Structure 1
Amino acid sequence: MLKRCVPCRFYHAFQPRKISRDIIETLPSHELLQHLGFLRQTQSGLVNWLPIGLRSLNKIENIVRNRMNGAADAMEVQLSTMSPKNLWETTGRWSNTELFKLRDARKAEFCLTPTCEEDITNLMKNYISTYKDMPLLVYQITKKYRDELRPRGGLLRGREFLMKDAYSFTGNKEDALKMFAQMNAVYEMIFTDLGIPFVSAWADSGDIGGDLSKEYHYIHSSGEDTLLTCDHCGTSSNIEKCESFPQEGNTHMGEVNVKYALNKARDTLICFYYPKDRSLNWNLAIEAAGHDVDGSMRDKREDEVLKIFRESNEDLIFSRILRIMDCRLNSRSNFPDFPLRQYLKSNFGQIDDVSIVEAREGEICGLCSEGLLKANKTIEVGHTFHLGTKYSQALEAQFTDRENKSSAIEMGCYGIGVSRLLGAIGEITRDKHGFRWPSRVAPYQASICVAPGNNEIKQRIKQEIQETMGSEVMDKFSEKVGLGARISYSHAIGIPLCIIAGPKNWPNVEIEVRGKNWFNDDTPSWREAHKELRNALQWQVIEGDSKPEKHIVPIEHLSRVITLLFEDL
């Protein structure tokens, strides 16, 4: 009798010995991924990938790469994980507290890249000299690092993660915006290919920079982000970008908060007034002030802003004051005392009836002024940015334009969290039986579950479906677990089709359908095929509310029925 090979023993080692309903229903998704053998967490925010987890991760990566190579016509590169300190100092990002920093034997300092705007700009400026060298789009799929103080959610917020980051280079803003639109169209294709309904939303660019960005989200109650969607125009925005108006304005009678800021010349004190029970939206506040706001004021305390204002103006009595009033306030709202004792009223300016607070569900959409906003918790999985010249100017990435003048390259960047996607899809699709991946993401397309000792039946099934399924069949189970445990494990790890057979009913074979079309809940197409072919294929169907849908066919028709079932998955 032949001994089981080392790879098989290695494979079986990752399968749980016991799968109980309580474990599946109560474990958080990142712990369930560990229990079922997808991965193993070594420390908070760090994981080792195991065979079946790596199969799903590679499938997601290949979906992304296929569209980047095809629809986007991008070129793949691979940058170093270590980035020198001087690049990040040049762009002003070395002080970021989430950078993993290290020093080599020569005392030179580096960071482990969380993103690669600095490195890709420094690289590509060597290959772009004139406008004829552009547009260019390059990308990589590689590990990134972020020193999260509180990693959580397993793959959703880790310290090491797999990411696809792409970067575009164009000669003018018009072409940069065309590239931005093109990449968002490619992202629509990628997220459609992944098989889970998604929503795109206009977003704040944050620390990355630029004046235009878009996020891609999965709606789920466990998400950390909030999207607001208008029920009239259908536009979705994240809370940092969304403008809303109350259904009835100027009604706030309570306490009022104020946020002080300065204009860019620092000769005008800007006072943003808003209801105390709301949060100031800095993006809307800047827009209300005509974008003439010193951005460094955002995180400074009120006394710090006032100190800078006093130091920047010799005679405060002649300085300018601009008050910006949120539209929810009125003259009877309880305003705080004004900080300056001497001032000229003629130097006061005031802007009323603007919205400068974070939007809330049920308020009027600020974009169309017709619909009401609905809030949803979401998981962010992708983000696109128009960067402008923020990095090219800092790092002197120049080119010669059509007028033979030197100009800064216009850039964009486009990220997708590849490993984060696996965690997010797992969270969304899990049910009382385990994970229920879209077929393109599932570690295998089908499993063969026979009782221990029935190797001839298993080999006959493999032979029958080899042409249809190829390497997408899982049939390796520990000899120590019975048929029921094998079926439960197949369902738990989310394999779309579970093929079950045994001596009692042979040569009939059962197919339990675990897969689901997450985009479409309409009547599956196999029903029409079943009406026409059930007699010819001797095809039986058993359905129940609490059990997986089951199809029974003779072994010689197994491949045909599997093909029909996969049209819906």
Structure 2
Amino acid sequence: MLTRPFFRPVSTRRWSSSIAGKLVGRDLTPTIPTLNINSELPSDLSSISTHELFTKTGFFFHPRPGLVHWLPIGLMILHKVEAVTRSRMSEIKGQEVSLSTLSSKSLWEKTGRWSNTELFKLKDTSGKDEYCLVATCEEEITALVKHNLKSYKDLPLLYFQIGKKYRDERRPRSGLLRGKEFIMKDAYSFDVSEKDAMETYEKVVGAYYKIFQDLKIPFVKADADTGDIGGSLSHEWHYLHKTAGEDTLFTCDSCGNSSNLEKTSSYPEEVSKGEEVSVEYFVTSDESTLVCAYYPSNRVLEPGLLKSNVPDINLNKKEGAHDEDILSGFRDEEALMTKKVIRVMDSRLDHTSRLPDFPVPFVNRSFITTMFDTPIVSAQEGEICGECEDGKLQSHRAIEVGHTFYLGDKYSTPLGLEVETAAGKKPVVMGCYGIGVSRIIAAIGEILRDSKGFKWPAIIAPWHVTVIEAGKTNRMAETEGAASSLADIQYRWDDRDGVRLGRKVRDSNLIGIPLTMIIGKSYPQVEIEVRGEKFGEEWRKVWDERHQELAWEVVEAEEDKPEKHLVDISNASIVIKALLNDM
């Protein structure tokens, strides 16, 4: 079910005494909140970093690196991003919950995640009970469902929440992009079977497409490694940005497949002869097999690619472990009779490559398996795509803003979440799905900003139109029609005393309001200046069909002057809505 429409009158108003008596019960003059804009900002903001600009314009305040106080304008945007997310999750029958931000150590020990070094950990005053501030809620939601689930007939379940999460980030930077606290939408699904779970996964992926389409900014869905969360299927959702992006994505120019660095397999256009070779050693989870990974010394081994070829490999070497610690179990010739060796040769190696000496005694060929032409190093731009083996890879810097995981029974088994079925008891199958709500705000701010400030998509802008009077015209207060023409538009009246017209326009542009409407001497004709980014040109169809009827004039943008629309105040809402539809 959709929430309330986004184009609606704002809920917090201040009445103008000159017209309140004439129009009892109608909202007419919502005014701007207090602006905490640094008066010393230069006219050209290009040299100011985005996270600094957020604080200097009063969106947020960072009391300490990694911590954030949300101020009124920032909070307006936050609530709108939450509304978009909540709306689309509700469409797929997601039920909203709000879990405690404190989670018991005992749950995290059962899943093996208490040792995570990014958890904030604390004890209560008794000193007996230990907790963490949640970075994610797989443990808590699984325990909650286990307590309440009565029958497999209660499934499927899809719960989501929007709230603060915490991580002990050692080097917080870039404001909201990497902090110790962040706002996240996390969702968790519970199904009887893998088939049902994959159907749920696809439903959530469909909701994610709609969320990111609503937000207008072009995005990429990329194959990803499951990482610490675990599971067997994972996708990341990214905004591309060549300077602020912390992640690397690769896209094939032939098959179009996108994947992150950990999941991108690639082949060289040609193999370099006589390549110097490095080797890393691993064992399988049951310690019965030695895995020798050979790769060019000038490249970086990518463990995720290695695991895709040897699924039962144990990539988690003990801290401080050396090759000799791993190889010691394979030195004894008698013990080797019950063990195996897998040699994995990266695709950049051939018979001329200079391999290191074989590390264990040679018993017989039957206990050695060699995998040739296997991509196991980090891809590079221009190499051949490992998916289609045809196109070339293009690399992009990207900002991750969402992640979806198919978990299987990774959490339900250790936490004992199971149901009785016709085939007997079986663990519930799970998925988890995150969206970085505060990261989205930081990322969009970074992507759309320019030398004049921010430019917000209309759907999440603090408000849509700033109304400004040129001089002491008081035109808006003179007529019921003028005010009522904006009754279904999210607008704010800049009625600050002692602030000139130019400063008011500049401040509106600075904080990223899509449109500014100026009421001047030509009233009832008003001037609508376009500040926001246009993601389409659908408004021109409305103009073609109705500009004569509406007496609607357009002054195209040129050099440093914005695009302007001139129209009678009685028709202003038609023009504004047409413009906002593209913004």
Shared fold per TM-score greater than 0.5: yes
* Match 1:231 to one of 244, 249, 253: 253
- 1:430-441 equivalences in 2 (<5 Å): 430-441=449-460
- Whether the 8 Å contact between 1:267 and 1:313 is mirrored in structure 2 is no
CA deviations on 1:469-526 (whole Å, 9 max, x unpaired) are 5472122353232110110111111111101123x333321110112233x3xxx233
Paired amino acid for 1:534: H
* Match 2:542 to one of 521, 529, 545: 529
Whole-Å separation in 2 of the counterparts to 1:444 and 1:546: 24
Whole-Å separation in 2 of the counterparts to 1:374 and 1:187: 24
Q: What is the aligned partner in structure 1 of residue 7 from structure 2?
A: none
Whole-Å separation in 2 of the counterparts to 1:376 and 1:481: 44
- 1:150-169 equivalences in 2 (<5 Å): 150-169=171-190
- 1:312-351 equivalences in 2 (<5 Å): 315=335, 319-340=339-360, 343-344=363-364, 347-351=367-371
Paired amino acid for 1:335: L
Label 1:104 to 1:312 Cα distance change in 2 as closer, same or farther (>3 A): farther
Q: CA RMSD in A?
A: 2.5
Label 1:477 to 1:329 Cα distance change in 2 as closer, same or farther (>3 A): farther
Paired amino acid for 1:41: H
* Match 2:166 to one of 135, 145, 157: 145
- Whether the 8 Å contact between 1:313 and 1:319 is mirrored in structure 2 is no
Whole-Å separation in 1 of the counterparts to 2:319 and 2:406: 24
Q: What is the aligned partner in structure 1 of residue 498 from structure 2?
A: 480
**What is the TM-score of this pair, normalised by structure 1?**
0.91
Whole-Å separation in 1 of the counterparts to 2:195 and 2:292: 36
* Match 2:79 to one of 58, 77, 81: 58
**Secondary structure of 1:306's partner?**
helix
Gaps in structure 2 of 5+ consecutive residues: 1-15, 18-29
- 1:501-512 equivalences in 2 (<5 Å): 501-502=519-520, 504-512=521-529
Between 1:100-109 and 1:524-533, the stretch displaced more is 524-533
- 1:67-78 equivalences in 2 (<5 Å): 67-70=88-91, 72-78=92-98
Label 1:233 to 1:10 Cα distance change in 2 as closer, same or farther (>3 A): closer
Paired amino acid for 2:259: S
Q: What is the aligned partner in structure 2 of residue 288 from structure 1?
A: 309
CA deviations on 1:336-361 (whole Å, 9 max, x unpaired) are 33333665455333211111111111
- 1:14-93 equivalences in 2 (<5 Å): 14-22=36-44, 24-70=45-91, 72-93=92-113
Whole-Å separation in 1 of the counterparts to 2:528 and 2:241: 30
Q: What is the aligned partner in structure 2 of residue 98 from structure 1?
A: 118
Q: What is the aligned partner in structure 2 of residue 548 from structure 1?
A: 562
Label 1:467 to 1:312 Cα distance change in 2 as closer, same or farther (>3 A): farther
Whole-Å separation in 2 of the counterparts to 1:443 and 1:240: 37
- 1:128-207 equivalences in 2 (<5 Å): 128-207=149-228
Structure 2 residue 549 is the aligned partner of structure 1 residue 539: no
Label 1:275 to 1:460 Cα distance change in 2 as closer, same or farther (>3 A): farther
Paired amino acid for 2:514: P
- Whether the 8 Å contact between 1:497 and 1:513 is mirrored in structure 2 is yes
Q: What is the aligned partner in structure 1 of residue 11 from structure 2?
A: none
Whole-Å separation in 2 of the counterparts to 1:211 and 1:148: 26
Q: CA deviation at 1:316?
A: 5.0
Gaps in structure 1 of 5+ consecutive residues: none
- Whether the 8 Å contact between 1:259 and 1:302 is mirrored in structure 2 is no
**What is the TM-score of this pair, normalised by structure 2?**
0.89
Whole-Å separation in 1 of the counterparts to 2:269 and 2:388: 14
Label 1:85 to 1:467 Cα distance change in 2 as closer, same or farther (>3 A): farther
Paired amino acid for 1:163: M
Label 1:363 to 1:497 Cα distance change in 2 as closer, same or farther (>3 A): same
Question: What is the percentage of aligned positions where both structures have the same residue?
Answer: 45
Q: CA deviation at 1:303?
A: 2.3
- Whether the 8 Å contact between 1:382 and 1:417 is mirrored in structure 2 is yes
* Match 2:572 to one of 536, 552, 558: 558
Whole-Å separation in 2 of the counterparts to 1:463 and 1:167: 49
Between 1:314-323 and 1:355-364, the stretch displaced more is 314-323
Q: CA deviation at 1:121?
A: 0.3
CA deviations on 1:412-433 (whole Å, 9 max, x unpaired) are 0000011111001111111122
Label 1:141 to 1:127 Cα distance change in 2 as closer, same or farther (>3 A): same
Label 1:312 to 1:95 Cα distance change in 2 as closer, same or farther (>3 A): farther
CA deviations on 1:154-196 (whole Å, 9 max, x unpaired) are 1111111111100000111111111111111111111111111
Q: How many residues align?
A: 553
Label 1:11 to 1:557 Cα distance change in 2 as closer, same or farther (>3 A): closer
Q: What is the aligned partner in structure 1 of residue 5 from structure 2?
A: none
* Match 1:210 to one of 219, 222, 231: 231
